[in-house]
Amino acid sequence: VDAISKRFRYDSALVSALKDLEETILEGLKSKDLEEYLSGPFIVVIKESCDGMGDVSEKHGCGPAVPEKAVRFSFTIMNISVTNSKNGSVRIFEEAKPNSELCCKPVCLMLADESDHETLTAILGPLIAERESMKCSELLLEIGGIRRSFKFIFRGTGYDEKLVREVEGLEASGSVYICTLCDATRLEASQNLVFHSITRSHSENLQRYETWRANPYHESVDELRDRVKG
């Protein structure tokens, strides 16, 4: 695969993000009246995001010519909790603005089209393998002068729907529908994994998008969503 990409090792990116939160973690322990020398394990919930960045051909300044499309894979630390013998699991950190760019940590940036299955698989494959290995392992990291253990729970709620099948499956999609061409919901799919059919063409899909954009019948949000659902 001939593509330009830049990525960090997933575990290194997580270490960097946790070190940025070092003071916050220590303050969280103190605010919850927990012992500052707790070694863990600390449970860290990660929200992953992967989406196309659109046309970047005129966003790169005076550097070399680049392809028009770019895709970014990133993550956000949503919350951190630790088990205490007296109170059970105690949350010591929760991201106040989880959708903010300020707390979004990039792991991989690639100059590729998000619909290019071959390129995405080649570039994201090793990164996903790193993530899978971290699901069943612990990270040892010195926080506040004490070595502490961290376990990670990954959530893929930030994936673009076209990328869902590449990295996480239906679990990652924020929509209740399977795709933009099928009216079957994920609940229906879980009850019937055999029969699914495409219920409209791409041209019909574009018509629904235009209906959503223009709202020609002056409907409420719920009525409009029901009209263009899927």
Over residues 66-76, the pLDDT tens digits come to 556 788 888 98
Dihedral pair phi/psi, residue 203, rounded to 5°: -65, -40
pLDDT digits (tens, 9 = 90+) for 205-227: 778 777 877 888 888 877 887 77
Q: Is the pLDDT of residue 201 over 90?
A: no
Question: Cα-flanking dihedrals φ and ψ of residue 155, to 5°?
Answer: -125, 135
Classify each residue of 12-21 as buried b or exposed e, where b means 16 or more C-beta atoms within 10 Å of its C-beta: ebbeebbeeb
112 vs 49: which has the higher pLDDT: 49
| Residue 130 C-alpha from the chain's centroid | 15
3-state secondary structure of 207: helix
Can you say whether the dihedral through the CA atoms of 185, 189, 191, 192 is positive or negative?
positive
Report yes or no on whether pTM surpasses 0.85: no
Burial 44-65 (b: 16+ CB within 10 A, else e): bbbbbbbbbeeeeeeeeeeeee
Report DSSP letters for 66-132, one per residue. Answer: --SEEEEEEEEEEEEEEEETTTEEEEEEE-S-TT-GGG-EEEEEEES-TT-HHHHHHHHHHHHHHHH
Q: Yes or no: say if 208 and 226 are a contact pair by the CB < 8 Å rule.
A: no
CB 134 within 8 Å of CB 152 = yes
> Would strands 146-159 and 139-143 be described as parallel, antiparallel, or unpaired?
antiparallel
Helix (H, G, I), strand (E, B) or coil at 176: coil
Closest to 149 measured CA to CA, from 136, 162, 161, 139 = 139
Question: Does 170 score more than 50 pLDDT?
Answer: no
Output the pLDDT for position 167: 46
- Select the more confidently predicted residue: 130 or 199: 130
